[in-house]
Amino acid sequence: MNYQNTLAFAQEQDRQDPLYYFRDRFYFPQVNGQDAIYFCGNSLGLQPKSAQMYIDNEMYKWANLAVEGHFKGEEPWFNYHELLAAGAARVVGAKESEVVVMNQLTVNLHLMLVSFYRPQGKRFKIITEGGAFPSDQYALETQTKFHGYNPDEAIIELFPKEGEHTLRTEDILQSIKEHGDELALVMMGGINYYTGQVFDMEAITKAGHEAGAFVGFDLAHAAGNVLLKLHDWDVDFAVWCTYKYLNSGPGGTSGVFVHERFGNDTDLPRFAGWWGHDAGERFKMQKGFKPMPGAAGWQLSNSQILPMAVHRASLQLFDEAGGMEVLRAKSEKLTGYLEYLINDVPVGKDVLEMITPQDPQARGSQISLLVKQNSRLLFDKLMEAGIIVDYREPNVIRIAPTPLYNSFEEVYRFSEILHECLEGVK
């Protein structure tokens, strides 16, 4: 695409953008009495205005039906999770039976590791990305310890080559091959939260399977951001949160994918609870766990209706917008425009380094800028000027314009303000 560094160009893109008016469906935080330019949807997505109504519905049912709400009314809580599976499955490219919405991300990661990290003999190692999100690191560390291993021996972390910021796919695949017969699991983020790099999940899954290992992904930064085809890629399991690109509220609920080939596999170890028990017999309260088929059989507790109601409101917007392909098309243009404008800020040349891949296929709605001097000061100035981005130690600013509620004009205004702030911190 041929971009131009003018307000008129940005406004013209907005006029041609069929998704432009979706921004009216969200609340924007206020800074200095104005809507902030909110580029932090990779950390906490904005509130859909419809979320309140979805919550109010459930509060109304609770007030009027109380315990009867589990079985009475239009959408009884007994199978409330089923109302989310189809929409969530569309976001991650799965069959409805392969997806369940429950718990929170790190809890679900542990549940999946119980089923899919099954070290045996010399096959006990896990390959993962170095510098993964800390919760993932702690989950892997404590799971390997739980099985009696030393995490330093059991966990192989992959780091970029000297002088590079992102991993090369060929190096990931090579490493999987090299460690082949020692590998129990390949477990990575779908997108690295720090650099914004999208990993080639299809190739990694294939290589992991060829090595005889299970393969799973943490899609916290990928779900609702990039196109995912978990079923077709043959991924074994995946987990994601819903409060980032999926706009479902602070600490919101989480999604789980279990490939259908495991859906009825009662030999897989799992930690069970009554909500994963065969729905027809759940309330017989009998001994002997019989899992529901599919991912739903991993449920533990009765559904958290309020966060799940918010997630329904949000999934509804994803469908209304036309789904992930439509969103992804805008996201590529928007992020491309951001990249173009940052490169066009003359004062930034010596100070800023983009550590997010330049290849649009290897990134989502995020650009991470490594700031070589006065990084914290630059961040503070941006925030004062009404731009909400985020800062990650030691010196990275992450900027995430999202296709559902951000505009080309906002990206343009951001670059103007970035320019001014850079002048101010020189």
Q: Which residues are annotated as a binding site?
A: 105-106, 133-136, 218, 221, 243, 274, 302
Q: Name which of residues 162 to 191 contact ligand PLP (CB under 6 A).
A: 189
> In this complex, which beta carbon is closest to ligand PLP, that of residue 23 or of residue 398?
398
Of 103-111, 199-207, 280-288, 308-316, the window that binds ligand PLP (rule: CB under 6 A) is 103-111
Our finding on whether 113 is near ligand PLP (CB under 6 A) is: no
Candidate list 55, 94, 105, 399; residue touching ligand PLP; CB under 6 A: 105
Task: State the binding site for pyridoxal 5'-phosphate.
Answer: 105-106, 133-136, 218, 221, 243, 274, 302
**CA distance linking residue 378 with residue 370, whole number of Å:** 11
Using CB under 6 A, pick the residue from 39, 117, 193, 412 that binds ligand PLP.
193
- 280, two tokens: 């027809």
Verify binding: residue 106, ligand PLP, rule CB under 6 A: yes
Q: Give the nearer residue to ligand PLP in terms of CB position, either 310 or 352.
A: 310
Specify the pairing of strand 387-388 against strand 37-38: parallel
Select 239 or 371, whichever has its Cβ closest to ligand PLP.
239
For residues 295 and 240, give the distance between their C-alpha atoms in angstroms, rounded to a whole number. 14
Per CB under 6 A, the segment of 128-136, 159-167, 353-361, 364-372 that binds ligand PLP is 128-136
Comparing C-alpha atoms, which of 66, 151, 75, 161 is closest to residue 117? 151
Least CB distance to ligand PLP at residue 109 (A): 7
CB atoms under 10 Å from CB of 248, counted, come to 31
- Taking the complex as a whole, the smallest distance from the CB of residue 328 to ligand PLP amounts, in Å, to 19
> Binding to ligand PLP by residue 248, rule CB under 6 A?
no
Contact 120, 147 (CB under 8 A): no
| 135 lies in the binding site for ligand PLP (CB under 6 A) | yes
SS3 content of the chain, % helix, strand, coil (to 5): 45, 15, 40
Closest CB 78 distance from ligand PLP, rounded Å: 26
**Least distance from C-beta 376 to ligand PLP, angstroms?**
22
- Looking at residue 155, the DSSP 8-state letter turns out to be E
Name the 3-class secondary structure at 390. Answer: strand
DSSP states along 169-219? HHHHHHHHHHTGGGEEEEEEESB-TTT-BBP-HHHHHHHHHHTT-EEEEE-
Q: Which residues partner with 120 through β-bridges?
A: 123
- 277 binds ligand PLP, rule: CB under 6 A: no
Q: Which of 117, 133, 194, 245 binds ligand PLP (CB under 6 A)?
A: 133
Q: How far is the CB of 355 from ligand PLP (least distance, A)?
A: 17
Task: Find the part of the chain contacting ligand PLP (CB under 6 A) among 64-72, 74-82, 214-222, 407-415.
Answer: 214-222
User: Contact between 220 and ligand PLP (CB under 6 A)?
Assistant: yes
- Footprint of ligand PLP on residues 286-325 (CB under 6 A)? none
Burial class (CB in 10 A: 0-12, 13-18, 19+), 122: exposed
Nearer Cβ to ligand PLP, position 390 or 409?
Answer: 390
Range 367-406 burial, b when 16+ CB lie within 10 A, else e: bbbbbeebbeebbebbbebbbbbbbeeebbbbbbbbbbbb
The nearer residue to ligand PLP, 106 or 406, going by C-beta atoms, is 106
CB 88 within 8 A of CB 315: yes
CA-nearest of 203, 221, 186 to 356 is: 221
Q: How far is the CB of 380 from ligand PLP (least distance, A)?
A: 23
Interacting stretch for ligand PLP, rule CB under 6 A, among 67-75, 147-155, 216-224, 379-387? 216-224
Longest CA–CA span in the chain (Å) reads 70
By CB under 6 A, name the one of 221, 277, 311, 381 that touches ligand PLP: 221
Give which of 263, 228, 218 is closest to 109, Cα–Cα. Answer: 218
Applying CB under 6 A, which part among 72-80, 85-93, 104-112, 290-298 lies near ligand PLP?
104-112
DSSP code string of 234-266: T-SEEEEESSSTT---TT--EEEEE-GGGTT-T
Q: Which is nearer to ligand PLP, 135 or 395 (CB)?
A: 135
58 part of the interface to ligand PLP, by CB under 6 A? no
CA-nearest of 212, 211, 214, 233 to 222 is 233
Q: By CB under 6 A, name the binding residues for ligand PLP.
A: 104-106, 133, 135-136, 189, 193, 218, 220-221, 241
